[in-house]
Amino acid sequence: MSLADAQTIDVHAHAVLEATMGAAGEHGPELGYEAQPRFRVGGYELHGVRYRGSPFMDVDLRLAAMDRAGIDFQVLSPNPLTYFHFIEPAAARDFCRVHNDALAAQVAPHAARLAACAAVPMQDIGFAIEETTRAVRELGMVGPYIGSDFGRPLDDPALDAFYETLVALDVPLFIHPAPAGIDGPPGDPNLKRFDLDIIIGFCAQETIAVCTLIYGGVLERHPKLDIAVSHGGGATGYLFGRMASAARKRPWASASLREDGAFEALLHRLWFDIHVHSAESVELLRRRVNPDRLLFGTNFAGWDQQPGDVRAEARPYADNARRLLRASLS
């Protein structure tokens, strides 16, 4: 088995790595156990999630769980709690190097089943370019995996050199949010209860990412750039009409964006995973975006991974994933 002939490909699966504990200095990360498991990142603590002795950290447990779920191939990515996009640039660079070396070493013996995305220090674009290039060329990683918020908008011209690097390397960019306030500015206090930072906050960040990439001209400036946004792009499917109308009518819209069908054509350039929790949501997304750029994802071993065998749901998206990951079609 390999990526080239896998029938089920999961592109949404985070990893936690023992080698990274303490790699960001005082920011951690740190695993502990008192009355229950504890994971610390800076001043943020996550309680009750078991990382050690789980598929998040044990590759043998991961492969066994993949077999039970019917997943042939999986792309591993950084834990969103440890993007470290707001800490000192040098500390973030050091962490990302340790992370990527460890994750590449973990997947290398299992290349028929696993691939890996790179963590990159987005607070310093030069460092981000350097680490992305190293991760792809030296470690064989499939592309960078970044948060949706790192102190500058996704259409900031300073990012153009980063996007140009991805095109030159011929790799996609994966975007996935993180809870606000872990190592950066505090988020909306209304989102700090009931896990609303994950339930609603993630959705808002992803929708903002989609709008910024289109309205801000990123896709027009970089016509060969491939970007995949997690969780169906947040509320993109539901807000499609409002987003398209704004592109045609609001005063900030560029002349090219105002043209009939321009917003829709740019939206069809983006890739989205379908980890959206309901068949109705997937169907709405399919009607609004490019169905040939939809990807299967599980948030594997996470709180919201759907139980059971996924083969029937995942198979239709395998060739899409191969195209994004630059693999030969079966």
Any idea which of 92-96, 259-263, 267-271, 298-302 has the lowest mean pLDDT? 298-302
CATH number for the 81-110+118-294+310-324 domain, one of 3.20.20.140, 2.40.50.140, 3.30.930.10, 3.40.50.1370? Answer: 3.20.20.140
Assess whether pLDDT exceeds 50 at residue 32. yes
For the segment 107-155, what is each residue's pLDDT rounded down to a tens digit?
999 999 999 999 999 999 999 999 999 999 999 999 999 999 999 999 9
What digits encode the pLDDT tens for the residues 186-235?
888 898 889 898 899 999 999 999 999 999 999 999 999 999 999 999 99
The pLDDT of residue 35: 72
Burial class (CB within 10 angstroms; exposed 0-12, middle 13-18, buried 19+) of 324: buried
What is the structure's pLDDT at 330? 39
**In terms of Cα–Cα distance, which of 50, 52, 71, 98 is closest to 8?**
71
Spatial contact of 164 and 171, defined as CB atoms under 8 Å apart? no
pLDDT at 134: 98
Share the mean pLDDT of the chain: 94
Is the model's pLDDT at 96 over the cut of 60?
Answer: yes
Percent of the chain with pLDDT over 70: 99
Residue 329: pLDDT over 70 = no
Determine contact, residues 174/120, Cβ cutoff 8 Å. no
Rounded Cα–Cα distance for residues 219 and 156 (Å): 12
Our measurement of the distance from residue 90's CA atom to the centroid of its chain's CA atoms, rounded to an integer in Å, reads: 23
**328 pLDDT tier (thresholds 50, 70, 90):** low
Secondary structure in 3-state letters for the chain: CCCCCCCCEEEEEEECCHHHCCCCHHHCCEEEECCCEEEEECCEEEECCCCCCCCCCCHHHHHHHHHHHCCCEEEEEECHHHCCCCCCHHHHHHHHHHHHHHHHHHHHHHCCCEEECECCCCCCHHHHHHHHHHHHHCCCCCCEEECCCCCCCCCCHHHHHHHHHHHHHCCCEEECCCCCCCCCCCCCHHHCCCCHHHHHHHHHHHHHHHHHHHHCCHHHHCCCCCEEECHHHCCHHHHHHHHHHHHHHCCCCCHHHHCCCHHHHHHCCCEEECCCCCHHHHHHHHHHCCHHHEECCCCCCCCCCCCCCCHHHHHHHHHHHHHHCCCCCC
Tokens of 44: 């943020």
